[in-house]
Amino acid sequence: MQLCPNCKHIYDDSEVDACPGCGQVPPKETVGVEELDLKPVFRAPDQTTADLVRGLLSSEGVAAYIDSRQVAWLDGVMTMATGYWGDVVVPAEQESQALEIIAAYESAPVTDEDVAQ
């Protein structure tokens, strides 16, 4: 497993030549996910939601990454098989902070001002 330095997507480098998250060919010197102590903090139903949560956490200073369960050439079959698209993962030392941010986001009421924007 590798961590894309371009988009922070986690992928199995034995199956693809380019990152499935951004399409870029990462440099030969990449960070192996096994070297990081990553914890899942959010199970995403689709890529859009995973990107939104990763962006939310990143904007709060949390190093968040996407761990997709998808296989590009199977076109979504893994979502049906596993029941979810993938996980948003963070370093273990930021897990509690990430869970607090996600909980606050999910419990925030939607206001008329939010809808108008």
Q: Could you read off the pLDDT of 30-68 as tens digits, one per residue?
A: 555 566 788 999 999 988 999 999 999 999 999 898 888
Q: Evaluate if residue 100 carries a pLDDT over 80.
A: yes
Q: Which residues pair with 31 in a beta bridge?
A: 3
Total domains in the chain come to 1
CATH number, domain at 96?
A: 3.30.70.1530
Written as six digits, the tokens of 62 are 């949390």
- Please tell me the pTM assigned to this model: 0.66
For residue 48, what are the domain limits? 2-116
Q: Which residue has the tokens 């030549």?
A: 17
